[in-house]
A and B are shown apart, each in its own frame.
Chain A
């Protein structure tokens, strides 16, 4: 479904991604883990067209999408939920959902957009109660739900999620991951997930990649990664402590 071949990407003169190659198969959930500053966010931004590719190729459904602008990739079915709940805070929840479904409006008109929003609100009932409220006044968990809902409004085939659990309470994190797993099943989505919370993410994933200083170090089945002593030490420390407590 998605394939990166020797992708390099720079911030100014600094090379941040170094020959990154990875793939995500149709219907898979794949997690990318790595320390802070490893280049995970940059990888997603490069895939979704927000950040330019310096060298290498990116393919989506066997089509070369290297260098495509973000707004065109959305039309192709790639939805990116960026780091840090990027919603339109000074606008209402309803407006945010409408903007998320902007392409639905463009191609199918107002009626279809309305019904899609209603469907989305069935999926995320909390948002329904908050519909007229400014998005900026939602709680962190609700904002993350809204961000995901907005991405889903574009009717994607592939979802790129950047740390959906950041700064949220464990119970809400569990809820969000359960939703992601369910959505993936119901909507036949393909998911590429970035997480600090590696254990929770790997638990719902098929495979995982480990990234360090802009390079892919390791690629394995999620189960194998969870059991891998190196990975355990480096990335699962926090979760393990949780288990002992």
Chain B
């Protein structure tokens, strides 16, 4: 019995991490744009969907190699992100948070419609990155694809930290988020930083979509729920704090998998959301959002 319990737990933990990694990446995307503009980009979930669907077409229909398909898909969604910023966000004359958020909702509807036109309403199958059987660890099974997901999350986090702490462009983006006027007085073009934030968060969204598609089978309408969960993770982690988002995203995934396993999979989404609301009730700034200084330090 003892053994059975831990095996179960381990199994749910693997499933949770697999889901959570995706939420974490979606949340990082939210945070990047939030830090640059102060808005929540409601089209974030669509970036994930587009990444996944593009990858499906590249590998399944065109039979391209994984690496090449991956790069093309990420590049494609990144361009979509840049176009979104250039065509819909940048031209706004007097940007207010509300105006911009409404625009992102419009873009999300548009992208969803476009995805439906190109890829249809059905869900799309894609083969796993590696053809190996699941690995057994203490009686629990872990899919090779889950290892890919964990590895990708690690790479994205490392890349993120390196970019924002060690490159001039990354530092400029942070500077803009901390004090926009001061950044402009240093000669930093804040508009370009906003564009870059859309590009990067589209790219992260695309990566998330690409690695999860073999497991969930992507369809055009997935964006809303993925976006919502990612948003939850971003808020619980403390809006703007991406390392907080990673922790919150993983926790959210694990709680979901656990409640799905131990309570009922029907209530899994609801339980996760209730717990999230509970956290926010106790700590309105999110788990890691206690003070402004901490938020920015942990970037």
**A interface, CB within 8 angstroms of B:** 48-50, 69-71, 74-75, 79-80, 82, 86-91, 95, 98-100, 102-103, 105-106, 134, 136, 150-151, 153-154
> B168 near A102 (CB under 8 angstroms)?
yes
Selecting from B19-27, B118-126, B181-189, the interface stretch reads: B181-189
> A100 near B293 (CB under 8 angstroms)?
no
> B174 near A91 (CB under 8 angstroms)?
yes
Dominant secondary structure at the B interface: helix
> A150 near B187 (CB under 8 angstroms)?
no
Which residue of B is nearest A113, CB measured?
B168
> A99 near B185 (CB under 8 angstroms)?
no
Within 8 Å CB of A69, what residues of B?
184
Q: Is B247 an interface residue (CB 8 A)?
A: no
Further 16 A-B residue pairs, CB within 8 A, beyond A71-B187, A82-B185, A102-B187: A50-B185, A69-B184, A71-B189, A74-B186, A74-B187, A75-B187, A86-B181, A86-B185, A89-B178, A90-B293, A90-B297, A91-B174, A98-B171, A99-B183, A99-B186, A102-B168
Which residue of A is nearest B295, CB measured?
A90
Q: Is B296 an interface residue (CB 8 A)?
A: yes
Supply 7 A–B pairs (Cβ within 8 Å), ascending by A: A70-B181, A70-B184, A80-B185, A88-B182, A99-B172, A99-B175, A106-B187
B:126-161 near A, CB below 8 Å: none
> A90 near B181 (CB under 8 angstroms)?
no
Cα A68 to Cα B140 in complex, Å, equals 63
Given A71-B184, A82-B182, A82-B185, do A98 and B296 touch, yes or no (CB 8 Å)?
no
Q: Mark contacts of B284-299 with chain A using CB atoms, 8 A cut-off: 1 yes-contact digit, 0 otherwise.
A: 0000000001001101
Cα A50 to Cα B168 in complex, Å, equals 23
Within 8 Å CB of A150, what residues of B?
186
Q: Is B179 an interface residue (CB 8 A)?
A: yes
